[in-house]
Amino acid sequence: EAGVTQFPSHSVIEKGQTVTLRCDPISGHDNLYWYRRVMGKEIKFLLHFVKESKQDESGMPNNRFLAERTGGTYSTLKVQPAELEDSGVYFCASSQGTAYGYTFGSGTRLTVV
């Protein structure tokens, strides 16, 4: 079975630009999660989709971040406009059930300069 796929793997953008990250979960996984790790800090939860609905978006830092999961398949995370502090690694994960049995993707390293 294919794992969780994220792209791009790396992105370097200038402050003020827009970036869209994409996550393809494992086929059949209704639950999809976004996390990020800012350099030197712990991995932090951003939000949780169940199919196309946002179950929990308590971790979204501000309204510059927009996550979507149209059709309940792949998800996108858009940052607009990007700020320097948004730099880090953005992970996506999926699971068939609830919090148990998460599978993470390899992440997208975002660098805002």
Residues that bind another protein (CB under 8 A): 4, 31, 33, 35, 37, 39-45, 48, 50, 55-56, 58-59, 89, 91, 93, 98-107, 109
CB 94 within 8 A of CB 38: no
Distances from the Cα of 18 to the Cα of 38, 39, 111, 112, angstroms: 18, 20, 12, 10
- Minimum Å gap between C-beta 86 and another protein is 16
Q: How many CB atoms lie within 10 A of CB 48?
A: 22
Q: Which of 57, 62, 30, 54 is nearest to 46 (CA)?
A: 57
User: In the complex with another protein, which residue's Cβ is closer, 37 or 78?
Assistant: 37
State in angstroms the smallest separation of the CB of 53 from another protein.
12
Q: Which is nearer to another protein, 49 or 81 (CB)?
A: 49
Nearer to another protein, 76 or 81 (CB): 76
> Smallest gap, in angstroms, from Cβ of residue 104 to another protein?
3
Cβ 60 to another protein shortest distance, Å:
12
The rounded Cα 73 to chain-centroid distance in angstroms is: 13
